[in-house]
Structure 1
Amino acid sequence: MAGLKYLSGFGNELTSEDPRCPGALPEGQNNPQVCPYGLYAEQLSGSAFTCPRSSNKRSWLYRILPSVRHKPFTAMKCEDLTESWNEVDPDPNQLRWLPFTIPKAAEKKVCFVAGLHTLCGAGDSKSRNGIAIHVYSCNTSMTDSCFQNSDGDFLVVPQQGEILITTEFGKMMVEPNEICVIQQGMRFSVDVFGETRGYILEVYGAHFELPDLGPIGANGLANPRDFLAPVAWYEDRTVNGYTIVNKYQGKLFSCQQDFSPFNVVAWHGNYTPYKYNLENFMVINCVAFDHADPSIFTVLTAKSTRPGVAIADFVIFPPRWGVADHTFRPPYYHRNCMSEFMGLIKGHYEAKEEGFQPGGGSLHSIMTPHGPDGDCFEKNSTSVLTPERVAEGTMAFMFESSFSMAVTKWGLQTCQRLDKSYYKCWESLKSHFNPNWKPTSK
């Protein structure tokens, strides 16, 4: 990674070549009869060829050998990675998980792929419409192997331990409080540096994009220039049995080849992996009264075909000022037509300072009521409303979806991290109703 830089700009047409091979990008055309340095031209398409120019996604890769040169794919065991949403009966209850267990290397070496566990999801990768939420927990780097998701995009949220992601486009170091997106079909390998854990939001049939700003105007939320793509980096390496793991229609397959897939000397296009530092998010918030909807904290969205309705939103709750007057400042009690999975990267979430821990999660399903616990309600109903910092030292996030998500058998039973006492955090809520209440004069 020494000396590597990143290319900036969300969705821009980007150009990169490894400095060891200047002039590797062909001039004037994408697929000349003979490419510079004797490279092969290969296009990676993330959209239909006929999509409008504004939504057309593709990149040209100039590589030492094309990706088509491999042995046939064969089925492999999926472990806890699944797209089977009917393993167990539906559960509409508020669900919360304690921090997910990270395997100890002394007991069992687990790489990123082996450490993938599906928690919940809905839809179908075959029909290109759906979502899945996974967690990963691992302790060992991938060796002479890489992963390719043919079903959809991975939005990766590290929670513990930095990860070095090697892709066909170059390398990215991604740390907790950063995110990265590996788009459909891109091959990547993950190096870790100890016990490592994080969350993954997967979407089928759509790509993540920046939300529209509307009345906010030109500036606010995530700034396009803060998204970073890797620069070209290649290795020309012969390997005796390099393994490609392919996630296809919810199942895993593997094939063998005798060379590294990270042999791209140069590339150009607008379909790339990318990362983003959550500290760069420009928060929009209430400055008068009431509590705004969490949609003002949307970093990325994957839109559905219905206007204003997302397959999935990635929402964060970063440190910010709370200044609203005459207002119950934490999130309000609510039921809604979206599924809300929350995770915690660090710190203490303002509405549930106990029980909701970094590395754990919660799921509030469609029309299931939820909101602040009893302690949070009592504290914030009587506190003096002076300007204060909210969520200092904390980063909570939400995967929100219009899909009604099913929880897997692993999530409800196998992982053994389900907090069966979660409902008790609301049991201390009591009636404050006073039929003789009279308004006080201001």
Structure 2
Amino acid sequence: MERSTLSYLHGFGNEHETEALPGALPQGQFSPQSCPYKLYAEQLSTTAFTAPRAQNRRSWLYRLRPSVVMGEYLSVDPGGIRTAPDPEGVPLPNLLRWDPLPIGQAPQDFIEGLVSIATNGDAAAQMGMGIHVYRADRGMGRRAFYSADGEWLLIPQQGVLRIESEMGRLTLAPGQIGVIPRGVKFRIELEQGPIRGYVCENYGAPLCLPERGPVGANGFANDRDFEYPHAWFEEIDAPHQLICKFAGRLYQAAMAHSPFDVVAWTGNSAPYRYDLSRFNVMNTVSFDHPDPSIFTVLTSPSDTCGVANLDFVIFPPRWMVAENTFRPPWYHRNLMSEFMGLIKGRYDAKGEGFEPGGMSLHNCMTPHGPEAAVFEQATQAQLAPERYQDTLAFMLESRYAFAPTAFAMASEHRQADYLSCWAGLNKHFDGKL
């Protein structure tokens, strides 16, 4: 038996309260001597108890059984999943790019189809991230998963998936993102398959909205547009498997019931969804190409102000109107390391070879920028207002250099000739103004 409603709760990081049965939430206190419906109270804290109020993330769950009712964890094969520091991965200054990874010929669910592309930082020290690709053509059924190593940012590129979690259900399609907090149990089912996309496993501080600075009170992502699920639960007394990612290893425990048995919850740490089309783009209306930081949707701060553990940046449809300007991104070398993916369309700084589902990696201080063909076109174009339509790319920026995994380096889908796209950048200098 499963019970739920179809409404969603709004507002990034807000305190929410929701119940699948009327009166299931205790009133006036979190843990009364006896909870309504004889439920168990359980607190989930995804930050330290003593984190400042503005950064503190926790929720109270009211469930049929406490989470501790389960079997012992046993180690299982991690498959293609890797965690930082990855002993097989070495950060490289080389420019790297991959074609889209195909969905496997053998049936696979979300966990079976996960493969790691790069990692940085150190999960045990709660810094850095892992980047994975997911591919699946079937749902997880009676298997559930959680990561104790970090929160998961899901970026769909193909198909429509459904996140079923302890706190409710969310559907995700390309053009939307979903975030699952550290430790929250979930499974992925298919609404429209097969599915493929990217996962950023954030080991550091939980993702939050960036400050707007001189932009002021409006622009970028608005907290009202973030959606949280309504309480939903299953009352299923049948064998389930719970898979845990802990300290870079995978473990599995048997359960005699569904782990999705939370009848009500209240708090500010829960899975959420955001439609990227609601991002209010800020851009130049005069000249020069602005820094990509103006496209930051979410950020994971580090202990150094202004230098992120992780920035999630998008390049969505938008107008380009800069006058007397080289409009694509300039050639650059920078402190932050950049991992890019393409959800749909074409990215304006790249020509052929960067396809939807593909990826590129440009590490700290490695020079990069528009390809030769893009440079020639941009320097000769008749500048007029131009709408960048039907495109959506993203970038994961970090202060830590990325180490590509052994799988990524050995993959037949890595473009060994990636550097050739800059081979046509010839010297034009003639000594004349």
Fold in common (TM above 0.5): yes
CA contact (8 A) 1:86 1:406 kept: no
Aligned partner of 1:406 in structure 2 is 403
Aligned partner of 1:323 in structure 2 is 321
Q: Aligned partner of 1:422: which letter?
A: Y
- Classify the secondary structure of the residue corresponding to 2:124: coil
C-alpha separation between the residues in 1 aligned to 2:432 and 2:22? 81
Q: Aligned partner of 1:431: which letter?
A: K
Q: Does 1:174 align with 2:172?
A: yes
Aligned partner of 1:195 in structure 2 is 194
Give, in angstroms, the shift of residue 75 of structure 1. 0.2
C-alpha separation between the residues in 2 aligned to 1:365 and 1:124? 17
Q: Aligned partner of 1:86: which letter?
A: P
C-alpha separation between the residues in 1 aligned to 2:193 and 2:209? 33
CA contact (8 A) 1:138 1:195 kept: yes
Matched pairs, number: 429
- The RMSD of aligned alpha carbons is 1.2
Give, in angstroms, the shift of residue 91 of structure 1. 2.9
Q: Does 1:426 align with 2:428?
A: no
C-alpha separation between the residues in 2 aligned to 1:89 and 1:52? 36
Q: Deviations over 1:70-92 (max 9, x none)?
A: 01101000011012523155432
Aligned partner of 1:32 in structure 2 is 32
CA contact (8 A) 2:337 2:400 kept: yes
Q: Deviations over 1:355-381 (max 9, x none)?
A: 100011000011111111111111110
Aligned partner of 1:44 in structure 2 is 44
Q: Does 1:13 align with 2:15?
A: yes
CA contact (8 A) 2:91 2:402 kept: no
C-alpha separation between the residues in 1 aligned to 2:135 and 2:423? 33
Give, in angstroms, the shift of residue 421 of structure 1. 1.2
Q: Using structure 1 for the length normalisation, give the TM-score.
A: 0.95
C-alpha separation between the residues in 1 aligned to 2:11 and 2:132? 27
Q: Deviations over 1:41-73 (max 9, x none)?
A: 000001111111111110000001111100110
Aligned partner of 1:213 in structure 2 is 212
Q: Aligned partner of 1:222: which letter?
A: A
Q: Does 1:186 align with 2:184?
A: yes
Q: Does 1:78 align with 2:67?
A: no
Give, in angstroms, the shift of residue 3 of structure 1. 5.7
Q: Aligned partner of 1:293: which letter?
A: D
Change over 3 Å in CA distance of 1:65–1:2 after alignment to 2: closer
CA contact (8 A) 1:85 1:407 kept: no
Give, in angstroms, the shift of residue 436 of structure 1. 2.2
- Classify the secondary structure of the residue corresponding to 2:394: strand
C-alpha separation between the residues in 2 aligned to 1:2 and 1:74? 32
Give, in angstroms, the shift of residue 276 of structure 1. 0.2
Aligned partner of 1:353 in structure 2 is 351
CA contact (8 A) 2:163 2:171 kept: yes
Identical pairs, percent? 49
CA contact (8 A) 2:99 2:358 kept: yes
CA contact (8 A) 2:209 2:221 kept: yes
Among 270, 273, 276, which residue is 2:271 paired with?
Answer: 273
CA contact (8 A) 1:9 1:227 kept: yes
Q: Using structure 2 for the length normalisation, give the TM-score.
A: 0.97
Aligned partner of 2:149 in structure 1 is 151
- Classify the secondary structure of the residue corresponding to 2:233: coil
C-alpha separation between the residues in 2 aligned to 1:274 and 1:168? 12
Give, in angstroms, the shift of residue 351 of structure 1. 1.0
C-alpha separation between the residues in 2 aligned to 1:159 and 1:204? 23
Aligned partner of 1:440 in structure 2 is none
C-alpha separation between the residues in 2 aligned to 1:382 and 1:405? 35
- Classify the secondary structure of the residue corresponding to 1:377: helix
C-alpha separation between the residues in 2 aligned to 1:158 and 1:402? 25
C-alpha separation between the residues in 1 aligned to 2:91 and 2:49? 39
C-alpha separation between the residues in 2 aligned to 1:24 and 1:49? 25
Change over 3 Å in CA distance of 1:2–1:256 after alignment to 2: closer
**Where do 1:128-167 residues align within 5 Å?**
128-167=126-165
Among 116, 119, 122, which residue is 1:121 paired with?
Answer: 119
Where in structure 1 do 4 or more consecutive aligned residues deviate above 4 Å? none
Q: Aligned partner of 2:232: which letter?
A: W
Q: Aligned partner of 1:4: which letter?
A: L
